[in-house]
Structure 1
């Protein structure tokens, strides 16, 4: 049985990782390569690096940023933003990415996915689908397209995409949990891996999403930045709920309880006292 994946979504604006709220409000977090380095230490399974300015500004992907992040990344790295040509995909992969995320150009020209998959392989091509109010949303044009995400998901699969990154704009930064109805209808309509993003605020939200049998993984951005020990605590919670994840660190927090804010509860004074080192006075002869 394949283990469920936890992905960190790093939203980059003007060279800085930002916290995104509803695709409208952005608050600074820090430098991309620092965020990548920490997430690797914390045990994340994959990282998605998305430059939200590149497409809007009609410029090339930031290859220097990708190259710098790749130095600190020892898990699969997906890069998106500003990718419109096969040559750009080649440059992004050469800079250190393992996969590319395609969004705007897929909405305009689905055949580009077929071309890219034929050259680089389906496993390399991720189609990102933004959804708002039940309809596909165009980030570039800032509007809904009055099209079902199921139609676009099936089209992405037909064109040769190896994975779908399903992003709920409604839930972005809300801490309300994932859009389970959306996840159900999309995962049931395709036979390729689907990763859901948008709304995580507690380990229980990851668990509820991963109860959807065909969901391959869950992604989050803000949650991993602002909760202590976020990755390991989330994986420990999932393990306690019988969800199989990659948890290979001695500090696994399996015996910790989680509070309403998704943080570890304090151990009792008795337990803390038992964990203290015993003091043995120096022997005098």
Structure 2
């Protein structure tokens, strides 16, 4: 059994780390380079860097900030935001990213996933999905543009399509749970892990140590991502790993 990964996330807006609730009311958390260095020291398994306003503002991700962050970390670094072409992917990989995450642009142009996988390998292409439960339709719906715009895509079907197109990993954020600290959306990840056979990173809703154990015990996800609990010092990565070990979950 592969060791489970604990991944902090930097949501970056114009060079500053921000955090909100349900994708709105963003608060400034600090400098991404300093925060990345702290997570390296704490023993994070990977780091995700998302330029959360790049797509909405129709601009590229901030390469100089990514270069600074990459210089501070030796763990794998996934970067997303403002990626519309294979050239954009190449730019981020040259800046120090190990993997690139595509979201809105992949919905508009699923070929982008295939092109990226063919050029850099599937292991390099992460399909990021922002998911929201639609009670009326009884399904999870894909949102794009930083969670601002609903699509008509079903999350589970889009995940299958993305994997078939060449995505080597899924980063799935529950917008319903984002920033609420009420626990991960277990039903969402149970449905996803039953549908696809690539690693899945669960994101959104973590607030306590037991939430990490719960998502690994109740679903087959490979990694758990959190932001605010780490940013504000409520939990440390070493606390999380210690608790998981005590609870019988294999971690690095």
TM over 0.5: yes
- Whether 1:170 and 2:170 are equivalent positions in the alignment is no
Map of 1:49 onto structure 2: 49
Alpha-carbon distance in structure 2 between the residues aligned to 1:99 and 1:217: 15
SS at match of 1:82: coil
Give the alignment of 1:19-98 within 5 angstroms. 19-98=19-98
The alignment's C-alpha RMSD in Å is 1.2
Which protein is bigger by CA-based radius of gyration?
A: 1
2:104 touches 2:145 (CA, 8 Å); kept in 1? yes
Per-residue deviation, residues 61-105 of structure 1 (Å, max 9, x unmatched): 111011100110110000000011111111100010000000011
Map of 2:233 onto structure 1: 227
Which segment drifts farther, 132-141 or 103-112? Answer: 132-141
Give the alignment of 1:1-285 within 5 angstroms. 1-133=1-133, 134-140=140-146, 142-228=148-234, 230-246=236-252
Which segment drifts farther, 117-126 or 58-67? Answer: 58-67
Q: 1:243 to 1:93 in 2, by over 3 A?
A: same
Q: How many residues align?
A: 246
Alpha-carbon distance in structure 2 between the residues aligned to 1:183 and 1:195: 9
Alpha-carbon distance in structure 1 between the residues aligned to 2:130 and 2:170: 10
Which structure has the higher relative contact order (CA within 8 Å, separation 6+)? 2
1:12 touches 1:51 (CA, 8 Å); kept in 2? yes
Which segment drifts farther, 178-187 or 134-143? Answer: 134-143
Structure 1 runs of 4+ aligned residues shifted over 3 Å read none
Which segment drifts farther, 224-233 or 178-187? Answer: 224-233
1:49 touches 1:78 (CA, 8 Å); kept in 2? yes
| TM-score of the aligned structures, taking structure 2 as reference length | 0.95
Per-residue deviation, residues 224-250 of structure 1 (Å, max 9, x unmatched): 11235511111111111000111xxxx
Alpha-carbon distance in structure 1 between the residues aligned to 2:123 and 2:92: 15
SS at match of 1:161: coil
1:42 touches 1:229 (CA, 8 Å); kept in 2? no
| TM-score of the aligned structures, taking structure 1 as reference length | 0.84
1:11 touches 1:20 (CA, 8 Å); kept in 2? no
Alpha-carbon distance in structure 1 between the residues aligned to 2:235 and 2:194: 33
Alpha-carbon distance in structure 2 between the residues aligned to 1:178 and 1:131: 12
Alpha-carbon distance in structure 2 between the residues aligned to 1:64 and 1:104: 23
Q: How many Å apart are 1:141 and its aligned residue?
A: 7.2
Alpha-carbon distance in structure 2 between the residues aligned to 1:166 and 1:245: 20
Structure 1, unpaired ranges of 5+: 247-285
Q: How many Å apart are 1:214 and its aligned residue?
A: 2.5
